[in-house]
Amino acid sequence: MHRLSRQQLVLLVLLTLVWGLNWPVMKLGVSNYPPLTFRAISMWLGLPLLAGALLALKVPFSLPRRHWPELLWLAATNMFVWHACIILAVRTLSSGRAAILGYTMPIFSALLGALVFSAPLHRRAWLGVGAAALGVALLLWHEFTNLAGRPGGVVLALVAAATWALGTQLLRRTTIDRPTLTISFWMTLLTTAVMSVLALFERGQWRAPETGTWAAIWFNAILVFGFAQAAWFSLARALPPLASTLSVMFIPVLGVFAGSLWLKEALHWQDWAAVALMVGAIASVLWPARAAPAPVRA
């Protein structure tokens, strides 16, 4: 188990707020606008902000050529698949339920860690994974019938979650000896190029964004790509994979309740029960373990 520093705790709280609120924001942004184009514009506007952060903090941009293959693999697993698949899923699903499916990532991450990377899971960790899984199931309680009628969005969200889980495991084990902000910048630049190419398939739908769409684009540009993405990479690289992934499990809960408030998506008792389970899942990996008693000296 891992104790967060004060800086990590602040990053986690801000990350939860930004990413949790972004689910209904994205839904509003793509409801009447091509989703891949929405994502590409957001990233192009957010990239200079991220570059400005590197300049202000005097973080180097340079990345040795020997790290390029690993950087490409990290970008593919952490960003390419996630950003393309999840924005398409948000278009077809309710914002809260898309968030829930996307945040099955910690469950995939725990299983990948145990089965592929031989990461030992203690009893508290398994309890946390189980609580998170049950919380996801409760949050989806009233959606199974509707989701069955929209399998494309469900599959996209789950593929995004599983690929992101692999990326999180790989990021924790990266051999790239550069600051996290440097890695984040280059991954974001590569993803911006990929999303721009994918957006060409929507060129028949291109038009000037409306005021509400622009607001959603700038929210994503400034808060998601200018801040939250780099904050997440910092946590994911510094913390053990299970601690970093389960620690963000409150994001889909916030997404569900924000969607209920802004988009009038219905809430049920299962949603409240899921809140308690998610809090338990987070505590299971972040609450300090009890120190072993000191040996008695004869």
Q: Enumerate the domain spans of the chain.
A: 6-286
Rounded to whole angstroms, the Cα distance separating 95 from 29 reads 11
The pLDDT value given to residue 239: 74
Q: Write out pLDDT tens, residues 70-122.
A: 999 999 999 999 999 999 999 888 887 788 788 778 778 877 877 787 776 67
Rounded to whole angstroms, the Cα distance separating 49 from 165 reads 26
Rounded to whole angstroms, the Cα distance separating 205 from 201 reads 9
Question: What residue spans of the chain are helical by DSSP H?
Answer: 6-30, 35-56, 68-75, 81-92, 95-102, 105-115, 123-139, 144-148, 151-172, 180-199, 211-219, 229-238, 241-246, 250-263, 269-286
Mean pLDDT over 158-181 rounds to: 91
Residue, of 244 and 158, whose pLDDT is higher? 158
Identify residue 113 by its one-letter amino acid code. Answer: G
Q: What percent of the chain has pLDDT over 90?
A: 46
The pLDDT value given to residue 227: 93
Q: Write out pLDDT tens, residues 239-276.
A: 776 666 666 777 877 887 888 888 777 777 776 777 67
In the block, tokens 């590569």 appear at 190
Residue 236: Cβ-neighbour burial (10 angstroms; 0-12, 13-18, 19+)? buried
The pLDDT value given to residue 216: 96
What is the SS3 assignment for 206? coil
Q: 115: which residues sit within 8 A by CB, 6+ positions away? A: none
The pLDDT value given to residue 284: 64
Which structure tokens are listed for 38?
């929405």
The pLDDT value given to residue 287: 59
Rounded to whole angstroms, the Cα distance separating 224 from 201 reads 24
Identify residue 3 by its one-letter amino acid code. Answer: R
The pLDDT value given to residue 11: 86
Confidence of residue 296 (pLDDT cuts 50, 70, 90): very low
Rounded to whole angstroms, the Cα distance separating 289 from 122 reads 11
Q: Write out pLDDT tens, residues 8-38.
A: 888 888 998 999 999 999 999 999 999 999 9
Rounded to whole angstroms, the Cα distance separating 165 from 73 reads 13
